Structures are given as structure tokens and as C-alpha cells.
């Protein structure tokens, strides 16, 4: 099985792109359209009282899954599986486990699909072969949360077919509206609250606007008309920051991978297989 934490993988190069932050938030908007999955999040998460903690922990797990050692990845995955194992949600009067395979698969597919589509909309430029390899690599990531690799879409075509088959059960709900509002402006204290208007425009609504058209139609909120242009401008601006400074941004998995394995493993679009 192809593994994403190989310095020669597509994932290793891709996940260093600054647009990943927008793609990650976009994936949360997409995930919220699954009524059962979003109910599990709303009923079990402390995102309203610790908004950036929730986002930081998610980003930390994603980054570790690509740039961490095998031992660190497995330890983190075991903790996630143990946490999910004890969580339950209730929808339409029925209790469900949040680690049901259907829900784990939805979260995984929403995440990796958003990473691939948003980065390419930003101008990253994967070839069709590289997209297929990326999805094949991310099958390994799906096994970390408890899925079987052969149950997970492993190519661009298979991923598109998965979303086509899943769309009939997706819809706007009070829970998806709660997530929509949260991602547009998390409640913050101190100096961070002064940056929220800028965040809402440059990140919150932009991440929503780069969802697939069918997803924004389900959410029912108008996206930016020129979202692709905004996204590409944001990426070009972010790329002006020296890579060394970008790697200092927490949680710093890329910096630690380079310190561990040498500068020869530095992520670069030029190294895409």
C-alpha cells in the first residue's frame, strides 16, 4: 500500500502548500452536510468553548499523518480510535456510534477530496495520474481511523462516484447551519477577536465559496462570485513568505521532519512523483 508519510509521496509535497489551511476549513463545511455525521460532532465536540483547539487538533492529526514517524502516527491514531469508540450521538430518536464505518468514510472522503480539489483550484496543478496516486496514498490514512483500505475510494474517478452516490442523503440542517456560523466567525477572546472580520472575509467565507457548486446549493448561502481568483491571489501572497518561516507555524510537523531526515526531504512541488 502506498503511504503518505513517504518523502517521495504526492501527499508529502502537497500538504506543505499554504492553501491547505483553506482546504481544511472547506472540508468542515462539506462534512457538515451529512446529517448524522454533523450531529455526532455537535453533540460531542467542545468547538463552541474551545474553537481554535478543535481546529488545531484536527490540523495536527492531518499533518502528523504525513510528516510524522510510523510510531508517532500509530500512537496518535490509537488515541483517536479510542476516543471515537466511546462516543455516541442521537438523531431522530436513535442512538448511533460516531465511529460507524459510514461516518468515518464520509469524514475521510470529505477531507481528502477538499484537499485535492481546493489546492488544484488554487493553481497547485496535479496531473490526473498524481491525483489518482494521492487518493491511493490516502487509503492508508483511512486505515488509521479504523477503515479498511479496500473500502475507500483510491482514485479520482472512484472519489467522484462516491460523492455522486452519497449526495441523496446530504442536506442542510440546524446543525450544518451551526457549523456554517462557527466557521465564519468562531467566538474568541482577547486580541484574537479583532482579527475575526478579516478572517471571515479572507478565510471563513472563501473556504465556503470553494466548495463544489452542489454543496453550496445545499447549504443555501451565496458563495463569492470570483472565489477561484481570490483563492489564487491568497496562495500567491502566502507563497511570498519564505518557506522557512512558513514551517515555523504550529504544529511544525514539516520542520521536525526536515530536522529528523535532512533537507533532502523538504517538500516541493518540483519533487512530485
pLDDT-derived band at 230, boundaries 50, 70, 90: very high
What are the strands, taking DSSP E only, across the chain? Answer: 88-91, 94-97
pLDDT-derived band at 140, boundaries 50, 70, 90: very high
Minimum mean pLDDT range among 87-91, 96-100, 186-190: 186-190
At 165, list the grid cell.
Answer: 452516490
* Domain-located, residue 1: no
* Domain-located, residue 93: yes
Total structural domains in the chain?
1
| The dihedral formed by the CA atoms of 20, 80, 103 and 58, expressed in degrees to the nearest 10 | -20
Residue pair 1/140 in contact (Cβ under 8 Å)? The answer is yes
C-alpha span between 154 and 152 (Å, rounded):
6
Any idea what DSSP says for residue 17? S
At 105, list the grid cell.
Answer: 468514510
Q: What is the pLDDT of residue 57?
A: 79
Domain that holds residue 195: 10-265
Residue pair 54/47 in contact (Cβ under 8 Å)? The answer is yes
Any idea what DSSP says for residue 151? G
pLDDT-derived band at 251, boundaries 50, 70, 90: low
At 132, list the grid cell.
Answer: 489518482
3-state DSSP call for residue 268?
coil
Higher pLDDT pick, 175 / 192: 175
C-alpha span between 121 and 138 (Å, rounded):
20
Residue pair 64/73 in contact (Cβ under 8 Å)? The answer is yes
Higher pLDDT pick, 47 / 270: 270
Within 8 A by CB and 6+ apart from 136, the residues are 2, 154, 155
* Domain-located, residue 272: no
Q: CB atoms < 10 A from the CB of 142, how many?
A: 22
| CA-wise closest residue to 65 among 115, 102, 121 | 115
Residue pair 183/55 in contact (Cβ under 8 Å)? The answer is no
* Domain-located, residue 63: yes
| CA-wise closest residue to 3 among 130, 107, 136 | 136
* Domain-located, residue 5: no
Answer yes or no: is pLDDT of 194 > 50: no
* Domain-located, residue 2: no
* Domain-located, residue 184: yes
- Cell 441523496 locates to 168
The model's pTM = 0.91
| Range 195-217 average pLDDT | 84
* Domain-located, residue 122: yes
Answer yes or no: is pLDDT of 211 > 90: yes
Amino acid at each position: 500500500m502506498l503511504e503518505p508519510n513517504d518523502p517521495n509521496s504526492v501527499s508529502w509535497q502537497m500538504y506543505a502548500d499554504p492553501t491547505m489551511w483553506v482546504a481544511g476549513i472547506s472540508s468542515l463545511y462539506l462534512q457538515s452536510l451529512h446529517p448524522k455525521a454533523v450531529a455526532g460532532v455537535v453533540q460531542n465536540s467542545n468547538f463552541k468553548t474551545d474553537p481554535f483547539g478543535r481546529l488545531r487538533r484536527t490540523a495536527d492529526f492531518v499533518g502528523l499523518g504525513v510528516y510524522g514517524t510510523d510510531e508517532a502516527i500509530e500512537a496518535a491514531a490509537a488515541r483517536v480510535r479510542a476516543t471515537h469508540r466511546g462516543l455516541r450521538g442521537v438523531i431522530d430518536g436513535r442512538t448511533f456510534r460516531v465511529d460507524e464505518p459510514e461516518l468515518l468514510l464520509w469524514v475521510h472522503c470529505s477531507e481528502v477530496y477538499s484537499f485535492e480539489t481546493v489546492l488544484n483550484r488554487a493553481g497547485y496543478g496535479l496531473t490526473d495520474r498524481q491525483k489518482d496516486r494521492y487518493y491511493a496514498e490516502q487509503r492508508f490514512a483511512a486505515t488509521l481511523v479504523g477503515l479498511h483500505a479496500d473500502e475507500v475510494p483510491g482514485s479520482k474517478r472512484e472519489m467522484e462516484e462516491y460523492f455522486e452516490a452519497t449526495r441523496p442523503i446530504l442536506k442542510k440542517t440546524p446543525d450544518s447551519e451551526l457549523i456554517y456560523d462557527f466557521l465564519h466567525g468562531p467566538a474568541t477572546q482577547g486580541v484574537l477577536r479583532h482579527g475575526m472580520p478579516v478572517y471571515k472575509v479572507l478565510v471563513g467565507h472563501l473556504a465556503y465559496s470553494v466548495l463544489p457548486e452542489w454543496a453550496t446549493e445545499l447549504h443555501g448561502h451565496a458563495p463569492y462570485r470570483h472565489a477561484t481568483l481570490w483563492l489564487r491571489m491568497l496562495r500567491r501572497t502566502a507563497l511570498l513568505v519564505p518557506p522557512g518561516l512558513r514551517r515555523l507555524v504550529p504544529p511544525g510537523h514539516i520542520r521536525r521532519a526536515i530536522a529528523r531526515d535532512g533537507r533532502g526531504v523538504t517538500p516541493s512541488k518540483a519533487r512530485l512523483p
